Chains A and B, each alone.
Chain A
Amino acid sequence: MADAVEKPKESFRLSMLIYDTRYRSMTIQLVVFALFVAIAAWLVDNTVRNLAALGKDFDFGFLSVRAGYDIAQRLVPYTQDSTHLRALIVGLMNTLLIAVMGCALATVVGIAVGVLRLSSNWLVARLMTVYVEMFRNVPILLWILLFYTVFTEASPAPSVFRGDEGRGLLFGLFAVTNRYTAIPAIGVDNGFGSLDLGLFPVNLSLLAVVVVLAISLFVRSRLNRHAAAIQAETGRRPVTWWKSLLIVVLPLVILLWVMGVHLLVPTISGFNFTGGVNVPNSFMALWLALSLYTGAFIAEIVRAGILAVSRGQSEAAFALGLRPGRTMSLVILPQALRVIIPPLISQFLNLTKNSSLAIAVGYLDLRGTLGGITLNQTGRELECVLLMMLIYLAISLVISAVMNVYNSRVRLKER
């Protein structure tokens, strides 16, 4: 019977390119590809012709030309005679600094507010709701400008702190003035100097602290692993807390003592504070505004994460006799983190990208140096904007890659 029906003959007709699902996707992709190439070629052709008409070329040579402008805050050595490339690096460092500090503070604020908003305390929960709604529903630019105004308009001049009847410092350490915030610096009597790497110098004292801390933490993790092994074998866990405390703290204290580390408290001399570090108000305003703004979003993420853990989990933990603190750290948080981490990553990214609003308060970050003064001085719009985009893109990709690695570590291990 099966042979009675003749197999239809395979023949290819042109309309099959559209109507046959086997070929259709190929056709669509080819059409899209052709369109894409055509548009790209059109754009490049336009650009080439426009540049030729303007007498410009596509050249990054301007990066090695003397910049000739000043940058107030710099983490790497920079003078007016430095090149535009170095100005770019200074700006990039400033962007990274504000991003790292902002992410740290925003996380702290966000977790605290998110947890407090769930608290059974009526007043605190309402206050936190007000904070979150206020910050989430108003443009970030407004908060930056408002904080900047608070610092520049509502703080006293440095001279107020002068003399015997002058105003005292906050906790004896900090002074908020209308030009900068004076904070204590860390002084090192006999440090190890610094090593010049060409692009920027590396502070060897700081490096020593990091190395010692890293070694201590490594030894401590070995100790913990050893204790876990003993526990697995005998069922009893040896007491380790004082050992690990000693391992972490003692070498660090000895190192700091050897180097003669002390706190340099800012003191007023003449018209300005000296001794400590004078952080410009643009940085402070930007930092606080970015952190509090992003903190409000993180608070909602944290709240949603904690609410996502079902009540039965905490009830089961209580039924096992765990105390509330341990329930939180051993049962609720590990599960909540899994919900929290992915949106948290995108908030960190948002903060980093929002730091480009530094221009509103005159803080010279990447956007201010490369995309601002360098662009205006050299007139290289295409190169500058392209470079700036690529750098921001690279930062974003690195952040999301790092956080994704962390995310995959806390993810539920499924079989």
Chain B
Amino acid sequence: MSDTHAQTVPFVRDTMLSEAPPPAGQAGAVRWLRENLFAGWLNTVLTVLGLVAVFFLLRGLLPWFLHGVWNAQTLGECRQIIAERWGPDATGACWAVIRDRWTQFLFGFYPSELYWRPVLALVLLFVALAPVLFPAVPRRLTLFSLLYPFVGFWLLWGGSIWQPVMVLLGFVLGYGAWRLLRDRAPLLAPFAGVVVALLWWLVLCGPLRDLFASILPIGLESVRSDRFGGFVLSLTIGVAAITLSLPMGIALALARRSDMFLIKTLSVCFIEFIRGVPLITLLFTASLLLNYFLPPGTNFDIILRVIIMVTLFAAAYIAEVVRGGLAALPRGQYEAADALGLNYMQAQRLIVLPQALKISIPGIVSTFIGLFKDTTLVIFVGLLDPLKGITDAVRASTDWKGIYWEPYIFVGTIFFLFCFGMSRYSMHLERRLKREHR
């Protein structure tokens, strides 16, 4: 055997070749290009089309951005500077309008000496949100989160300090009543709390407020609602509606899944009605019709009315999202809760809702993003939203007549940052709350 093989195997290698780098076409940037941009003819065509699109976009937009002017008093001056620098035919952005009027975009017609108040309210908002958003923050801070609505309201609108304090006292009294009765009559306690709070607000709140205000007049200079505008307005409406609509949406979702026919029907009718009509018609209701539905002579703040309507609107959408989360929960979880002997409230609070809400985070956040974007629609009931209200107000001055793109781009960028930030945070939250092992 070995003889025959000696003839067929003339040479056997006894050393290894050293490792060689891959050929140029299979390594580094060339390989990346081949795999990601020029794999096959279809891909190549797409790449070329994409490059052409990018080229034309940049050719149209880049000079305009690069020729931007930041220092000028009027649009005419801007155009003059651009013509001097880049030739008579050049076009350029006139960012000077933003530099000149950015306070209006942010605060509307809020009195300029009081700008510290909305700014402080925003800073405190982040402090109040911290325990909700970040788990590392001490839990003690949630107490401030609960107080924040009153602090924020007082800072933004000003007025006597006794108004928010008296309203807050209603909550405290209601809570006290609930605590007192909780052990003796666990099912009556919530009712008692609500009744006590309502009685306080309806009967005692007003006179006591006036009494205290006359004894001890502490307060901030009050700011009327029509002075609000820009992002202060958007954020006020957005944040208020978001915080109010989440609990309401959860309650509606639970009602819609309830066994009780009447409650289910009411919830379904409400949700389907709100989801079937555009937000504009609801805002119209807020501005035109709410006076019809309330006792004669009632007239309350337009921003408050808008917040109510936007809250109802968002709650219906959140209810549907949460319902999806509840439906996605395996039946076993409900059965396990029953097997443990938990009552309805305990089961929902400890087992069902935490899981269902975790599933619905993406939907809830996108509802919030939509809600925040929709705050621009308040222009149609006469409030100065940052997008159309303020830009129209800016253009109404002779200095900046005829300017279009720059304000839109500025406002659009800020909205983009807010909304994009929210969506990224929700992705982070999803990862953080992920409990299953994969």
A→B interface (CB under 8 Å)? 18-19, 25, 28-29, 32-33, 36, 43, 46-47, 49-51, 53, 116, 119-124, 127, 133-134, 136-142, 145-146, 149, 153, 349, 353-354, 356-357, 359-360, 367, 371, 381-382, 385, 388-389, 392-393, 396-397
Contacts and interface: CB of A to CB of B under 8 A. Distances in A.
A120 B36 contact: yes
Nearest to B413: A138
Given A121-B36, A124-B50, A138-B415, A47 B404 contact: no
Nearest to B366: A136
A28 B35 CA distance: 65
A148 B411 CA distance: 17
B336 interface: no
A103 to B, nearest CB: 16
Interface in B226-244: none
A123 B47 contact: yes
Main secondary structure, interface of A, reads helix
Contact of A19 (B187, B281, B296): B187
B260 interface: yes
Contacts of A49: 295-296
27 contacts: A29-B260, A46-B293, A46-B296, A47-B293, A50-B291, A50-B296, A120-B43, A122-B36, A124-B49, A127-B50, A136-B369, A138-B416, A141-B377, A141-B388, A142-B387, A145-B388, A149-B404, A349-B275, A354-B278, A356-B280, A381-B289, A381-B292, A382-B292, A385-B288, A388-B281, A389-B281, A392-B281
Contacts of A145: 387-388, 408
Nearest to A29: B262
A29 B54 CA distance: 62
Contacts of B292: 46-47, 50-51, 381-382
A127 B51 CA distance: 10
Given A121-B50, A385-B284, A138 B276 contact: no
B416 A356 contact: no
Nearest to B409: A146
Contacts, number: 150
A365 to B, nearest CB: 11
Contacts of A120: 35-36, 39, 43
The size class of the interface chain B forms with chain A is 35 or more
Interface in B358-398: 369, 373-374, 376-377, 379-380, 387-388
B54 A133 contact: no
B328 to A, nearest CB: 14
Given A25-B259, A136-B369, A393-B273, 16 more contacts: A18-B187, A25-B260, A53-B296, A121-B47, A122-B37, A123-B47, A127-B50, A136-B419, A137-B373, A137-B419, A141-B376, A141-B387, A149-B408, A356-B281, A393-B277, A397-B276
A354 B374 CA distance: 10
Contact of A123 (B51, B288, B404): B51
B263 A29 contact: yes
A273 to B, nearest CB: 25
A171 to B, nearest CB: 18
B102 interface: no
Interface in B258-307: 259-263, 266, 272-273, 275-281, 284-285, 288-289, 291-296
